[in-house]
Amino acid sequence: MGICENRVVIVTGAGRGLGRAYALELARQGAAVVVNDLGVGNHGEDTGESPAEAVVSEITAMGGRAMANHCDVADWEATGEMVRQTVETFGSLHAVVNNAGFVRDRMFVSATPDEWDAVMRVHLRGHFCTARHAVDHWRGLAKAGEAVDGRIINTTSGAGLHGSIGQTAYSAAKGGIASMTLVQAAELARYGITANAIAPNARTRMTEGAFGEAMSAKEGEFDIFAPENTAPLVAWLCSEQSVGVSGEVFELIGGDLRLCLGWSDGPQEDIKRAWKAEEISAAVERLKAERPAAKPVWGSS
Active-site annotation, residues: 157, 170, 174
Give residue 119's region: left, alpha or beta (phi > 0; psi -120 to 50).
Answer: alpha
Give CA–CA dist 153/249, Å, rounded: 10
- Which strand (E) or helix (H) includes residue 61? helix 51-61
Residues 286/233, Cβ–Cβ less than 8 Å = no
CB proximity list for 93: less than 8 A, separation 6 or greater? 8, 9, 10, 83, 86, 87, 134, 137, 138, 150
Identify each DSSP E strand in the chain by its residue range: 8-11, 32-36, 66-69, 95-97, 150-155, 193-200, 249-253, 256-259
Question: Measured between alpha carbons, how far is 137 from 157 in angstroms, rounded to an integer?
Answer: 28
